[in-house]
Amino acid sequence: MKKLLFFLLVFLAPVVSFASIDTIAVDVGISVFKTMPLGVVPFNESAGIDWIEEHPHQILTRDANLSGRFDVVASDKFNLALFSRSHAEYYITGKVEPQKDGKLRVECYLYVSKSKDLLLGESYTVQQKDLRRAMHAFFDEVTLRLCGERGVASTKLAYVSKIEGVKQVVVSDYDGFHRSQVTRDTSISMMPVWTLQNKGLVYVNFKTNRPRLYTKNFGGSEKPLFSQFDQTYSPAVNPRTGELLFSSTKDGKTDLYLGNTETGKARKFAYLKSNQTSPAWSPFATEVMFTSDRGGGPQIFVMNKDGSDMRRVTFMGRYNERASWSPSGDRIAYTSMDNGKMNIYTCALDGSDIMQLTNNAGNNVHPTWSPDGKLIAFSSNRSGSYQIYIMRFDGANVTRITQGGENTSPTWSWFYDNDKQQTKEGAK
**Interacting residue with another protein among 36, 103, 119, 206 (CB under 8 A):** 206
| 69 scored as a contact of another protein (CB under 8 A) | no
The correct pick among 275, 304, 385, 422 for binding another protein (CB under 8 A) is 275
Stretch that binds another protein, among 18-26, 89-97, 291-299, 413-421 (CB under 8 A): 291-299
Residue 172, strand partner residues: 157
Residue from 152, 208, 148 nearest 371 by CA? 152
The smaller minimum CB distance to another protein, of residues 274 and 422, is found at 274
Asked whether the beta carbons of 403 and 420 are under 8 A apart, the reply is no
Could you tell me the smallest distance in angstroms from the CB atom of residue 278 to another protein?
Answer: 4
- 335 contributes a contact to another protein by CB under 8 A: yes
Q: Across the strands, what pairs with 205?
A: 189, 212
Select 251 or 262, whichever has its Cβ closest to another protein: 251
Least Å distance between CB 149 and another protein? Answer: 31
Site string for another protein, 104-143 (x = CB under 8 A): ----------------------------------------
Q: Which of 69, 322, 331, 374 binds another protein (CB under 8 A)?
A: 322
Minimum CB distance to another protein smaller for 136 or for 366: 366
Closest by Cα among 422, 377, 421 to 402 = 377
| CB-count burial class (<10 Å; 0-12, 13-18, 19+) for 293 | middle
Give the whole-angstrom CA distance, residue 256 versus residue 274. 11
Nearest to residue 156, comparing CAs of 387, 373, 411? 411
Is 272 near another protein (CB under 8 A)? no
CB 145 within 8 A of CB 120: yes
> Which residues fall within 8 angstroms of residue 230, CB to CB, at 6 or more apart?
210, 248, 249, 250
Work out whether 212 is an interface residue with another protein (CB under 8 A): no
> Judged by CB under 8 A, does residue 337 bind another protein?
yes
Contact pattern from residue 386 through residue 405 relative to another protein, giving x for each residue in contact according to CB under 8 A and a dash for the rest: --------------------
Of 160 and 349, which has the nearer Cβ to another protein? 160
**In angstroms, what is the minimal distance from the CB of 133 to another protein?**
31
Q: In whole angstroms, how far apart are CA 417 and each of 18, 197, 281, 346?
A: 50, 7, 21, 28
Burial class (CB in 10 A: 0-12, 13-18, 19+), 6: exposed
Closest CA to 256 of 240, 241, 271: 271
Binding residues (CB under 8 A) for another protein: these are 165-167, 188, 190-191, 206, 209-211, 231, 233-234, 247, 249, 251-254, 275, 277-278, 291, 293, 297-298, 319, 321-322, 335, 337, 340, 342, 363, 365-366, 409
